[in-house]
Structure 1
Amino acid sequence: MSVLDQLQESLSDFSRNERHVADYILSNPQEMRSLSGEALAAICGVSRSTVLRLCQKLGYQGYAEFKYALQHETEHPAQTRPADALPTQNVLTYYCSGMLQMEPLVTSDALRDFADTLSHANRVVALGLNHSSVSAEQLAFRLNKFGVDCHMLWDDSRMASYERVLKQGDVVVIFSISGRDFYETLVSEYRKNRVKVVLITMDPDSSLCHLVDISIVLPFLTYNAGGMYPMDETVIFFMFIEMLAEKLHQTLHRLDE
């Protein structure tokens, strides 16, 4: 069964928003070559998580894998392979799929704005609780190599104490897989001092996304893997940090010219 046939047969299994996405794909299969998951969601007026859920209901790990199968089908119809004939998934497949899902971020306004914000910051403070503190520490390490003053905080009491230290021109970067509401009060206090706050999360529905200046949502591998086993999301955070480092390098180079 072709990808489009599978999509057509599954319409009754989709939610209303998922069906909006499916109808668009069925009507515009050729347009899908140039559309990122984020762009498709915007066109259909739904969230990126809706696009992801649709792909997963069809048997794909994410939008990147679905898009590849659809594009391969339109370019090589005689060699089409259905989703249920895909090779057995393993940990490398999931991580590679997650990284491919981040590809639209390379040209996104959010990543560009983030790099620009960092390049003009007086100082940067990276926050992360528990395991997310590893990613906050890595960001601080990478930024300092670029000459951007950054340090990290992993203790909630110290995070709160910085409400009286940070001021306009400073930037706070929060790493939180769930976008936990613990940070809501902190963000409100930071922003009273006109501190810019950036959230790096894996929950597109987090209420924290609406409180910060910039929010970037990354693929949540443990969810995407359908319970294969608890995967380490730090791999995705670290890959994003390298994408940011590349964009920051370009930004700083442009400023020096």
Structure 2
Amino acid sequence: MSPLLKIRSERDQMSAIERRIADFLLENSHLLRDYSSQQLANALGISQSSVVKFSQKLGFKGYPDLKYSIGQAVARGDGADDGGTSRETRADDPHAALAEDLWHLKALAEAETRLINPPENIDAIAHAILQAGKVFIIGLGEDGIPARAFATRLSMLGIVTVHYVDAILMQAGVSSAAPGDVLMVFSEHGRQPTLCQISHLFRERVGRVVTVTRHTPNPLRAHGDAALLVSAHDERRHIEPLLYQSALQHLLDLIFVLLCDASEERRLQLDFNFERMQDLLDH
């Protein structure tokens, strides 16, 4: 596993000092061979012990092991930001470099997101959805876009789906929840008190709550039984949401494929619904 990828994926969970170390390593990975732990500490204005503890927290014996592993990753081009210099572009396409860089950033965000969502957690969520009598789904504002799309896909599989874009209506809707039902709550930052309240009410009815948020500590995750986490970062405000949406969509696509592969009956229902929709479009 690339240490650079691990650092990026774990950044949201780090302390302020750890984030400073992480950002320096990510931005200067190709120069680390010239830095001792003391020189790195001096450059950041922190103690040498902070650098050592950071390395150990990532699973390395110390800073030399971390530095060596990062050097190997840079040599392989694994998780390092090469600034696009190694990617070929078409001379006649003025958007080629921009498209390649955006694709690279999305791929990195998706890789980080896979890293923080263990396969056993994904399998457990997919199993809970398959076994649920009903799947309730809610997302407010921009979070409502992926929520609605995923609700539609579940419906196409013949899974009974209750989708709301209004928190007040969802509060009323959860009164029909039964043991074994699932509530999926989409909230990038997980800070809406109303969604926390809905999740609490749902769990009281012995339902299972799945939160879909960024990989950050947030109030909503405390009300969930399981979590889908997204890691996507960029300093540019117009780029970061694109990375979040791309990584989230990839994660939801993975769950959808697992649901399809787990049940031939569901796949047949999906095919039937596709054919019925096509018939309606053709007439």
Q: Show the counterpart of 1:51.
A: none
Q: Which of 232, 236, 248 pairs up with 1:237?
A: 248
Q: Show the counterpart of 1:211.
A: 223
Q: Which of 222, 226, 236 pairs up with 1:227?
A: 236
Runs of 5+ in structure 2 lacking a partner? 1-29, 86-97, 268-283
Q: Show the counterpart of 1:71.
A: 73
Contact 1:177/1:203, CA 8 A, preserved across alignment: no
Q: Distance in 2 between matches of 1:218 and 1:250?
A: 23
RMSD: 3.6
Q: Which of 102, 107, 110 pairs up with 1:99?
A: 110
- Deviation readout 1:186-219 (Å, 9 max, x if unpaired): 1111111111110010142112212210012101
Q: Give 1 or 2 for the bigger CA radius of gyration.
A: 2
Amino acid corresponding to residue 53 of structure 2 in structure 1: H
C-alpha distance 113-21 of structure 1, shift in aligned 2 (>3 A): farther
Amino acid corresponding to residue 206 of structure 2 in structure 1: R
1:202 aligns with 2:214: yes
Runs of 5+ in structure 1 lacking a partner? 33-66
> Structure 2 length as normaliser, TM-score?
0.63
Amino acid corresponding to residue 71 of structure 1 in structure 2: A
C-alpha distance 108-194 of structure 1, shift in aligned 2 (>3 A): same
1:87 aligns with 2:84: yes
Contact 1:123/1:149, CA 8 A, preserved across alignment: yes
**Equivalent residue runs for 1:47-196 within 5 Å:** 70-73=72-75, 86-87=83-84, 90-104=101-115, 107-182=118-193, 183-196=195-208
- Deviation readout 1:67-94 (Å, 9 max, x if unpaired): 7x74353xx6xxx89x685327843322
**Equivalent residue runs for 1:4-83 within 5 Å:** 5=34, 8=37, 9-11=39-41, 13=44, 19-23=52-56, 24-25=59-60, 26=63, 28=65, 70-73=72-75
Contact 2:32/2:67, CA 8 A, preserved across alignment: no
- Number of aligned residue pairs: 213
Q: Determine helix, strand or coil for the equivalent of 1:10.
A: helix
1:252 aligns with 2:263: yes
Contact 2:182/2:210, CA 8 A, preserved across alignment: yes
Q: Determine helix, strand or coil for the equivalent of 2:186.
A: strand
- CA drift at 1:181: 3.5
> Structure 1 length as normaliser, TM-score?
0.69
Q: Determine helix, strand or coil for the equivalent of 2:108.
A: helix
